[in-house]
Amino acid sequence: MHHNQVGIWRQRFAADGLPGLLDGDRCGRPPVYGHNDVLFAQRMADQGVAISASQAWRICQALDLKP
């Protein structure tokens, strides 16, 4: 861990206390696939079915499944 990052965390803690250490909003595009989509793809891969999170999302959308 770089000492600059520790300094940033110390400043945030001094200013806002423990809530200051929580992750804030980040710039950039929000994630497209949720935790359930990724988990579903990982569970399928564990069973020997090679599937990506995007493919799992498309299948769930097509079948109107809400994991």
- Statement: residue 11 has pLDDT above 90: yes
Higher pLDDT among residues 63 and 14, named by residue: 14
Q: What is the model's pLDDT at position 4?
A: 92
Angle at 58 between CA 29 and CA 35, to 5 degrees: 55
Asked whether the beta carbons of 40 and 56 are under 8 A apart, the reply is: yes
Q: Calculate Rg over the CA atoms of the chain.
A: 19
Contacts of 54 (CB under 8 A, 6+ apart): 32, 33
Judged by average pLDDT, the poorest of 6-10, 34-38, 47-51, 60-64 is 34-38
40 and 28 Cβ atoms separated by less than 8 Å: no
Cα gap 67→57, rounded to integer Å? 10
pTM of the model: 0.43
